[in-house]
Amino acid sequence: MIRRIVRFVDQRAGAAPFVRKALRYVFPDHWSFLLGEVALYCFILLVATGIYLTLFFEDSRSQTIYHGSYKPLQGEPMSRAYESVLHLSLDVKAGLLIRQTHHWAANVFLAAIVLHVLRVFFTGAFRKPRDLTYLVGLAMLFTAFVEGYLGYSLVDDLLSGMGLAIGYSVALSVPVIGANLGLLLWGGPFPGSPSFFPRMYIAHVLILPLIITALLTLHLVLVASRHHTQFRESPKTTEKQVVGVPTYPGQAPRSLGLMFAVFAVLFLLGGLVQINPIWLWGPYHVGEATNGAQPDWYLGWLIGALRLVPAFDLTVGGYTLVPNPFWGGALFPVVILLVLALWPWAERKVTGDDGLHNLLERPRDNAWRTSLGAAFLTWIFLGFMSGSADRVTVWLGLDYAAQIWAYRVLVWVLPVVVFFVVRRACRELVAWERLKSE
Amino acid sequence: MSRIKALLIAAIVLLLGRGRPRRERSEARIVPPGTPDPRAETLVLVLFAAVAVCGIAFIVVYAIDGIGHQTQLLGLALGLAFALLAVAFIVIARRLVVTEELAEPYPAEHPNEVETIEEILDESESRFTRRRLVKLAGTGALGTLGLAALTPALSLGPALDTDALTKTPWRRGRRLVDDSGKPIAATSIEAEAFYTAYPEGADRELIGSPIVVVRIGPGDEGVVAYSKICTHAGCAIALYRKPTFPDTQPGPALVCPCHYSSFDPADNGKVIFGPAGRALPRLPLEVDVDGNLRAAGNFSGPVGPSWSGVRQREARS
Amino acid sequence: MKRLLFILVLLFPAPARAAEPPQGVVANVAQGKSLYAANCSRCHGSRGEGLRDQGPSLKDVGALSVDFYVRTGYMPLDDPHAQPWRTRVLFSEQEIRSLVAFVATIGHGPAIPTPHWRNASVPAGKKLFTDRCAGCHQIAIAGGVLPGARIPSLNQATPRQIAEAVRIGPYLMPKFSRRAITPTQLNDIVAYVQYAKQPDDRGGWAIGHLGPWPEGMVTWLLAASALVATCIVIGRRQKRT
């Protein structure tokens, strides 16, 4: 039966040689190589659940009065977008399950990408010939940030509406051209023209998913064409030869098992753990706000940065040149993207190592990269921490203003400390190993 | 009766039988044999059956309206189904297929092909006498065309008309109304409370609309109003800090819940904490013959988040 | 005598959250005066006139204020610079009533309110709560932060305490009179808060009604760790042939 299908495909597409190669393609074996796959499976589920959601969502910010089944919002003016999501969540069977699974999948998607990027970075997998693969991956990461932001902003609830106002202010804060940029994107002053929501919608369901899919395809093709990197484990694993498990029969059931595990985790979360209960927040109105509003976790670094920057607009002779949100909201992420994107090139320049690398380094084997990377990560992570300072005030009673001042100092001092500590740790570990083997 | 029996026997044989004997191959095997593991096989069968049960459970829960906690049960059913499927495939991976170790060469570069391609491209240009000029001109042509193609993007919004950012629905004489649309008497504004107000007859969803009114002193002059939209990042300033005992407590402030920018209502909306860089625009007030509050003009500056040159601009009606 | 009373107070603790106070307990103004002297005069003055840098005057605060501050345990406050916070109440029901009765005699203040929230409008209350209260107390009554204070969640506040707090504006909270928030509006607000304590919580475990912060915690501590563990299990090196 299988034989008949294969012959059919080979006669019409000449695919047999390719399939034969693919079946025995070699996968080096390490659990951390599976993290990228986790992200892939999250994306698949995002598209699948997302398609379902598009069948119910109305991408319009025009206002209507609610007369639906949820009593606390009776008579409340709200956008049709919000009302459609309310209806899906509260009145459509399995609607809330699919919606919550979709939102959890988005959060986990980004967590998986972050873990994957960390693995790639700290093992040096981004080195030639995989620097292009790495750049494609970074492009996907930053596209995913925007995609997620647009996704939860489409719902037009109180929290995400506040988030859109902040996004608008960051656009406006770009020096010289900010006002034009903001007016262009929103179609007018905030909250924007009636076509702003349809635009966000099309970007979220069509344009960005297409971009991510194209990048993803390119990414996977590049990975497969160069073959996966490997750790140096035996005399057989060299720069010239990759050793591992073939796709079929060895790797396939493992990948399938992982895929089903990802789906399991996401559907279990989607059914059992509440996420974004928008009926509790209420619809967004320009004149309303709530305490404790936060963006989804993967933008937490940005809210921290926005809160940390001291109170000044950069003025030059009275002319407002750089409004405050620019530093934390625009410059900070751009600097991070640039540092990450230029890293392979910078490493080549500094070390003078221009060769191809197929073997990975353990983090401890490259103390400079690991410690610089750890310091850089600390800098970003402190953004997350300072964005959570209000939580710490609520739980531990620590004064909020005092925390902000502490973070303003820590954000420059702690990365330096981490750099030295991690570098020392790497060197000690390597020395200890050398001693052990003697 | 005998036909049913025959069908049943056929079904059992199909399910439990070993299937057709594999064809003997004379050459050496590609995939090494590996020992059978009937217990693992049985486990996989059980797991697949359990997955089916979960799938049916999903359908049943969905179909029966009376079952409460639909989201949780549906999620549990589906999640469990996938979890069991995952376990089944992991069992297959560990016990029912061989884990081989293969080696493959990493791909090498192709210096010859690269050189050949360079040669093809190079030799194809032999009829040109002014290669650089033609390439430059071509780039210029395509570049300007690209620019032209991008220009309609400016239609997405009034990108060149930044005046739109300074417009607010307030003007001299516009009456303040509360959230139910009723006018607000100056004497109804009490100290230690705060009030949200809107311009009468205007769209409330513009950032120039909502204002916050507080009393900083006695009499009509003691009532002040500010834009409710934070000059930092555009959130509504929904907090009012009012000290019960000024001796030990921080002073009054209008505070934004997003990044905690704090503004002093008694000092023209000056920033006293937080990342906001610009004072809160103040709406001058007057009291009409009925004792109700009206705007005495437009805001002291553009409302909402700042942009380059914002301090050079004025709020317009 | 003061010391004895203080010890007596310690020996008879009352629950921090008094639901409906028991009937038949009679206030004793004289006892209240002694309790006041023992617990409050240090900061509020011997006659409730207030002391600079210690505590405000209690003139005209009325039974409403005292009932609130004492039943929540906000008062007595050890450090005048600290934020009053809900704590275990050490006074008995009788002592509370006596204290309230005594301080109410200092001037003329409002009586203890009784909000009629059961038939009030939750939708109207939500609208009002969003505009007047959510900026500090969070839309789902989880509390929050502002520079200078942490803002309590309302999950433990009784309907009466909510009504009292709105009229007092304790610590840094704004103070809303009957004109700023009418009795009907107050009933609606209380109705909404009561709803929000146990709202329609479909979709599973509510993780605090706080939104993205606990969701991020779940993402990393539950999902990411489960999936990393799965990767480790799947990726475990097997004996290869």
Delimit the domains of chain A by residue range: 27-289, 362-438
Which chain B residues contact residue C80 at CB under 8 A? 245, 248
User: In whole angstroms, what separates CA A423 from the centre of its chain?
Assistant: 28
What average pLDDT does the segment B218-244 reach? 96
CA distances to A91, B95, C238 from B30, rounded to whole Å, are: 56, 19, 20
Strand partners, B215: B223
Produce one character per residue of C161-173: b if its CB has 16 or more CB atoms within 10 Å, e if not. bbbbbbbbbbbbb
Which chain C residues contact residue B29 at CB under 8 A? none
Segments in chain C below pLDDT 70: 1-23, 240-241
* Residues of C (43-62) whose Cβ lies below 8 Å from B: 52-56
| CB nearest B99 (choices: C81, C172, C238) | C238
Q: Is residue B308 domain-resident?
A: no
How many domains, in total, are found in chain B? 2
- For residues B271 and B168, state if they share a domain: yes
- For residues B117 and B188, state if they share a domain: no
Distance separating alpha carbons of residues C46 and B75, to the nearest angstrom: 63
CB within 8 Å: B260 and C55: no
| CB nearest C204 (choices: A265, A272, A300) | A272
* Residues of A (173-202) whose Cβ lies below 8 Å from C: none
Average pLDDT per 10 consecutive residues for chain A, totaling 438 residues = 90 91 90 96 98 97 96 96 97 96 98 98 96 98 98 97 97 96 95 96 98 98 94 90 91 96 98 97 97 96 96 93 96 97 96 93 95 97 95 93 96 97 96 92
CB within 8 Å: B102 and A289: no
Q: Distance (Å) from the C-alpha of residue B220 to the closest C-alpha of chain A?
A: 25
Q: What is the pLDDT of residue C108?
A: 93
**Reported confidence tier of residue B156, pLDDT bands at 50, 70, 90:** confident
Q: Is residue B315 domain-resident?
A: no
Distance separating alpha carbons of residues A335 and C122, to the nearest angstrom: 48
Domain A27-289 has CATH 3.90.105.10: no
Q: Is residue B310 domain-resident?
A: no
Checking phi first, is residue C24 left (phi over 0); if not, alpha (psi -120 to 50) or beta?
left
DSSP code at position C22: P
> Is C80 part of the contact surface with chain B (CB cutoff 8 Å)?
yes
- For residues B11 and B129, state if they share a domain: yes
**Stated length of chain A:** 438
- For residues B173 and B288, state if they share a domain: yes
Q: What is the pLDDT of residue C18?
A: 44
| CB nearest A400 (choices: C135, C145, C209) | C145
Domain that holds residue B121: 2-102+110-156
- For residues B277 and B169, state if they share a domain: yes
> Is B62 part of the contact surface with chain A (CB cutoff 8 Å)?
yes
At B8-30, the pLDDT tens digits run 888 887 777 666 656 555 568 88
DSSP B8-57: HHHHHHHHHS--SPPPP--SPPSS------HHHHHHHHHHHHHHHHHHHH
CB atoms under 10 Å from CB of B124, counted, come to 9
Interface test with A, best of C85, C231, C240 (most A CBs within 10 A): C231
Strand partners, B316: B167
Q: What is the pLDDT of residue A370?
A: 97
Query: What SS3 class is residue B223?
Result: strand
Instruction: Give me the torsion for CA of C22, C28, C31, C32, rounded to 10°.
Output: 80
Enumerate neighbours of C (3 or more CB pairs within 8 A). Answer: A, B
Q: What is the pLDDT of residue B269?
A: 96
Q: The CATH number of the domain where B187 resides is what?
A: 2.102.10.10
Q: Is residue B283 domain-resident?
A: yes
Strand partners, A273: C205
Which chain C residues contact residue B188 at CB under 8 A? 179-180
Q: What is the pLDDT of residue B23?
A: 59
Distance separating alpha carbons of residues A292 and A432, to the nearest angstrom: 47
Structure tokens at B203: 């769209």
Residue spans of alpha helices (H) in chain C: 2-11, 29-39, 41-44, 62-71, 93-104, 122-132, 134-137, 159-168, 183-197, 212-218, 225-234
- For residues B170 and B152, state if they share a domain: no
> Is B277 part of the contact surface with chain A (CB cutoff 8 Å)?
yes
Q: Which candidate, C57, C63, C59, C25, places its Cα nearest to that of C164?
A: C63
CB within 8 Å: A277 and C148: no
Q: Is residue B302 domain-resident?
A: no
Distance separating alpha carbons of residues C133 and A290, to the nearest angstrom: 8
- For residues B124 and B202, state if they share a domain: no
Q: What is the pLDDT of residue B17?
A: 66
Angle between helices A208-226 and A131-153 (to 10 degrees): 160
DSSP C115-172: ---TTS-HHHHHHHHHHHTHHHH-TTS--EEETTEEE--STT--HHHHHHHHHH--TT
- For residues B128 and B259, state if they share a domain: no
Which chain C residues contact residue B94 at CB under 8 A? 238
Interface test with C, best of B100, B192, B262 (most C CBs within 10 A): B192
User: In whole angstroms, what separates CA B84 from the centre of its chain?
Assistant: 33
Q: Is residue B307 domain-resident?
A: no
Spatial neighbors of B288 by CB under 8 A, at least 6 apart, are B175, B294
Instruction: State phi, psi for B263 to the nearest 5 degrees.
Output: -125, 140
Rg (chain A; Cα; Å): 25
Instruction: State phi, psi for A224 to the nearest 5 degrees.
Output: -65, -40
- For residues B115 and B235, state if they share a domain: no
Q: What is the pLDDT of residue B73?
A: 96
Q: Is residue B240 domain-resident?
A: yes
CA distances to C20, C99, C161 from C24, rounded to whole Å, are: 12, 16, 21
Q: Is residue B216 domain-resident?
A: yes
Are the C-beta atoms of C146 and B272 separated by less than 8 Å? no
For C79, the closest chain B residue by CA position comes to B248
| CB nearest C179 (choices: B188, B196, B237) | B188
Angle between helices A35-54 and A252-272 (to 10 degrees): 50
| CB nearest A93 (choices: B62, B233, B305) | B62
Interface test with B, best of C65, C78, C130, C131 (most B CBs within 10 A): C131
Q: What is the pLDDT of residue B25?
A: 58
